[in-house]
Chains A and B, each alone.
Chain A
Amino acid sequence: EDQVTQSPEALRLQEGESSSLNCSYTVSGLRGLFWYRQDPGKGPEFLFTLYSAGEEKEKERLKATLTKKESFLHITAPKPEDSATYLCAASGGGADGLTFGKGTHLIIQP
């Protein structure tokens, strides 16, 4: 059975304090690893797709990386507007849908 585990569950940072969120996965035949951002009361917003170990993608203050067992979402010099829940999901060979982790609730204090 495919599994995705995210850590930490919650993270509080000061504005400008860089950090990383972790996503470990056990998926048979990984087809893609996805990161989403979700604000309260809204649907998940797509951020990145990673397909193979060693791949990296960047968008503004966010950079996602992938290894054979984990993915990291690095946040550099975050701002209060980066506060949200960040979701990691994987697509495997066994199902058409995505397997999600529980998310990391990130709070950036001014």
Chain B
Amino acid sequence: ETGVTQTPRHLVMGMTNKKSLKCEQHLGHNAMYWYKQSAKKPLELMFVYNFKEQTENNSVPSRFSPECPNSSHLFLHLHTLQPEDSALYLCASSQPKRGHEQFFGPGTRLTVL
């Protein structure tokens, strides 16, 4: 595997389900990010991790819970989501210093029924 991988690629869940998104980077980076991409909106930053520590939470509702066990893996735990949470969820990684380009995974297309 190379670059940034995400699983699953597609996910359909009910409002009462609990599910997790997984991201893995093979680039030797130490910063990882979650972004949300909705139709007609710019990518929205959700969470930032530097060296496994969360450094940014962009006012994300608590029904989204991130976890970063090491610098290569990032999870997004989902519970009691709303239909408006349906979107493409993108993971990215970079060197930790600001100004470095971020490399994105293919995304998970989430549909909440």
- For the complex formed, measure the closest distance between the CB of B94 and the CB atoms of chain A, giving whole angstroms: 9
A93/B107 contact (C-beta < 8 A), A44-B90, A101-B42 known: no
Residue tally, chain B, CB below 8 Å to A: 28
Give residues of chain B (82-98) contacting chain A, Cβ–Cβ below 8 Å.
Answer: 90, 92, 98
Kindly state the interface size class of chain A when it binds its partner: 20 to 34
Q: Is the CB of A49 within 8 A of B42?
A: no
A49/B45 contact (C-beta < 8 A), A42-B106, A95-B56 known: no
- The reply to whether the CB of B43 lies closer than 8 angstroms to some CB of chain A is yes
A95/B45 contact (C-beta < 8 A), A31-B98, A51-B99 known: yes
- Measured CA separation A4–B45 after assembly (Å): 14
- Measured CA separation A92–B99 after assembly (Å): 8
Q: Which of A32, A36, A42, A46 contacts B99 (CB 8 A)?
A: A32
Residues of A bordering B, CB below 8 Å: 4, 31-32, 34, 36, 41-46, 49, 51, 87, 89, 91-93, 95-103
